[in-house]
Chain A
């Protein structure tokens, strides 16, 4: 890093930045006061001496953690086709049956004793932000107990799949001053049912509405993982977000599985998606640009949405086609479809037109 070389591990962020999408790297830097002209903001950062210490000590730091991303394990009731067994136990079972993997595993560490040990240790730290990932957080044993152990000043972030509701967890979440809630949805179209099996978009939408009514102070983001099948309908997510004043967020442009990337579409096939997205972007009247990486600025929702939509337009317009991956996609989707008694053509009307019979 100090030799000004790129790490493969950072490639997802670099790819996002190349298409003007705000990356995780930029978001984390912003929390340290680094933005814009880094030749000025790095020496201004209150963490400058910590960076220097870390550089001089093989990457080690003397600081305690402040910002945690906590993987609670893979217990999940969904089997989203773009997910992996590491993040979904249900998908793992299916992949085992299909011989995609040898043996599925339920992973996690949230047994009572370990959770208690974790809670004891975390109480000694000054944690500012803790983001939970799974699995489906609401289904994971220990999530509630960890929440109960946290100080109300801690900002809590987590993502749900909008198929589960647990009153006792939601009541506990109400104690926190700041909650960042991510709600996973790919699009408001029936293809969401194929992508996020076995959820039904009508139920998901109802639950999203329910979540939005819990607490006006919460920061809510619709979390998407755009794939070749959802990209023509991605505009529906932004339309919903605009109507409901919530954010849209995705971790990156899809890396794995490669054969589900939107870029397996040839460029002419992307035109309709581009046009729909551009129409939504053009409908947003805002004097604010999205000038920074704070994608949760509630005073700037429209500008942030516009910026995000335009990054997808740029991505679809400019990213090279990976249509050579289509045969692999078809084998996968048709195998998964047979396993679930679902035919992608019933959910994605462009299938034969885009990919041939």
Chain B
């Protein structure tokens, strides 16, 4: 069991995290997803899904987010309350069914693993 750490084995400037989003398209819908892929570990995570120009008179259409993983950590459904859903129907409840024009955004504002510590109720961290 590896229990001791040589700090030199780790380097924040070369360590990355991987952001992946899985989803289903329902009907014909225009959308844009940003913030996926690989990024430096100290960068805040900003995942954004925009629903664009939806015609509410057309048949039902939406994006259903089925999975968001950061490294091996799954955020759906346990962390979806941290996503801010700004849409033209003023629908604010946590959801992964994006059926309104608008944006669905997670902005951790701080490095992901520090955010995850707080969001998971891991207690206080020293400043």
Decide: A31 near B71, CB < 8 A? Known: A2-B4, A41-B113, A44-B114. Answer: no
Cβ contacts B13-57/A at 8 Å (1 or 0 each)? 001010000000000000000000000011000000000000000
Q: Is the CB of A30 within 8 A of B114?
A: no
Q: Is the CB of A2 within 8 A of B6?
A: yes
Q: Report A214-268 residues with CB < 8 Å from chain B CB.
A: none
Decide: A43 near B11, CB < 8 A? Known: A2-B6, A6-B4. Answer: yes
Which of B2, B15, B122, B124 meets A40, CB within 8 Å? B15
Q: Is the CB of A5 within 8 A of B4?
A: yes
Decide: A35 near B122, CB < 8 A? Known: A4-B4, A40-B15, A43-B15. Answer: yes
Decide: A31 near B10, CB < 8 A? Known: A37-B71, A40-B71. Answer: no
Kindly state the separation between the CA atoms of A37 and B73 in the bound complex, as whole angstroms: 11
Q: Is the CB of B120 within 8 A of A291?
A: yes
Min CB–CB distance A296 → chain B (angstroms) = 7
Q: What total of A-B pairs shows CB separation below 8 Å? A: 98
| Number of interface residues, chain B, beta carbon within 8 A | 30
Which of A1, A43, A294 meets B4, CB within 8 Å? A1
CB of A128 within 8 A of chain B? Answer: yes
Min CB–CB distance B16 → chain A (angstroms) = 9
How big is chain A's contact interface, by range? 35 or more
Residue ID in chain A nearest B14 by CB atoms: A43
Q: Is the CB of B123 within 8 A of A294?
A: yes
Residues on A with C-beta less than 8 A from B10 are 39, 42-43, 48
Min CB–CB distance B52 → chain A (angstroms) = 34
Kindly state the separation between the CA atoms of A48 and B12 in the bound complex, as whole angstroms: 8
Min CB–CB distance A6 → chain B (angstroms) = 6
Residues on B with C-beta less than 8 A from A31 are 123-126
Can you offer 19 A-B residue contacts whose CB atoms are under 8 A? A1-B4, A2-B4, A6-B3, A6-B4, A14-B3, A30-B123, A31-B126, A33-B114, A35-B117, A39-B10, A43-B11, A43-B41, A43-B42, A44-B12, A47-B126, A48-B7, A55-B6, A294-B121, A297-B123
Residues of B within 8 A of A (CB): 1-8, 10-12, 15, 17, 41-42, 71-72, 111-114, 117, 120-127
7 cross-chain pairs, A with B, having the tightest CB-CB distances, nearest first: A44-B113, A294-B123, A43-B12, A43-B15, A2-B6, A43-B10, A51-B7
